[in-house]
Chains A and B, each alone.
Chain A
């Protein structure tokens, strides 16, 4: 059970943060292209889901899985999107993503007067706290699971 990587996007599609732990395959395109492709895919999935849904949705798109990985998604009402790729053994971790937003992003970025919002995050404190938070997760194991 492991976490592969984590993306944080803002409402305009700018990738605010990206970190990876156990990624075995790169996408074959540059990092900027990959962020844009990931954001575009998520935007399209959200619009797809809102049209396809037979009933009115409250939380919307939650996660998807393929034969090798699972992508978990959490979006705040302000448009900040937290996306985490894990392996298949991980159950629903929407509350983990919510915690990343409320205890890390809001505390160390939004409340920091020197951090300009809407740009890639430069805060060392945020990075180190995020690292230790992810490594402390029960489903994270440094060896490829």
Chain B
């Protein structure tokens, strides 16, 4: 049972804080000989498996490292294109590590803004009067919880589907935000949060929530 990450989105839909608590990395490293039986293609500046599945390598996994050296987008560490490199038989046998690509900061910014809009559309398409936006989104691998304050700030928590007590955690994060970000005279509203005390208190409240404890007064 784990809490994966926390996002804070301002009134305009921009991401102002992001913290990855626990990111499970499903990776597989294998040695291949020529010819490579997986088909790779370039997607979002990364070399991604488009066809072929074996031994924990799935469609959508990106090339993370070649022969132990991390790749740089669609190029190897030396600057050669990965797809060209792997077409050359003299480079084999080669050991490649595949896995789900980690999100870059830019991608996180775009996803946070995307969620901001989806939240509003969820409220507009409501068949009932007076509905809020999306408060909980469920998939088979994670549950996304969102709490929107009266001032328009959204606190978003991604957690394991079985994790309980996220509503209390969202209220607690709001409390920590008002104590350590809003009351900080050097913090400007709607700007990225760069307050050490906010980080520390957020981490400790995530630990408490994962252990399924409750937040006592003044904790």
Contact = CB atoms under 8 A, between A and B. Distances in A.
Candidate in A38, A51, A63, A66 with the most chain B CB atoms within 10 angstroms: A66
Contacts of A62: 138-140
Contacts of B75: none
A22 B97 CA distance: 52
A71 B135 CA distance: 12
A56 to B, nearest CB: 5
Contact of B158 (A20, A54, A61, A87): A54
Interface in A59-92: 59-69, 71, 85, 87
Contacts of B68: none
B127 A54 contact: no
B140 A60 contact: yes
Interface stretch (B31-39, B118-126, B179-187, B188-196): B118-126
A49 B111 CA distance: 9
B127 A20 contact: yes
A67 B133 CA distance: 7
A114 interface: no
Contacts of B23: 54
B139 A51 contact: no
Interface in B87-126: 100, 103, 107, 111, 114-115, 117-118, 121-126
Main SS of chain B's interface residues?
Answer: loop
A4 B121 contact: no
Q: Which of A20, A50, A58, A64 has the most CB of B within 10 A?
A: A64
A59 B128 CA distance: 28
Contact of A64 (B60, B127, B136): B136
A69 B121 contact: no
A69 B140 contact: no
Contact of A5 (B26, B60, B127): B127
A22 B136 contact: no
Contacts of B4: 54
Nearest to B120: A41
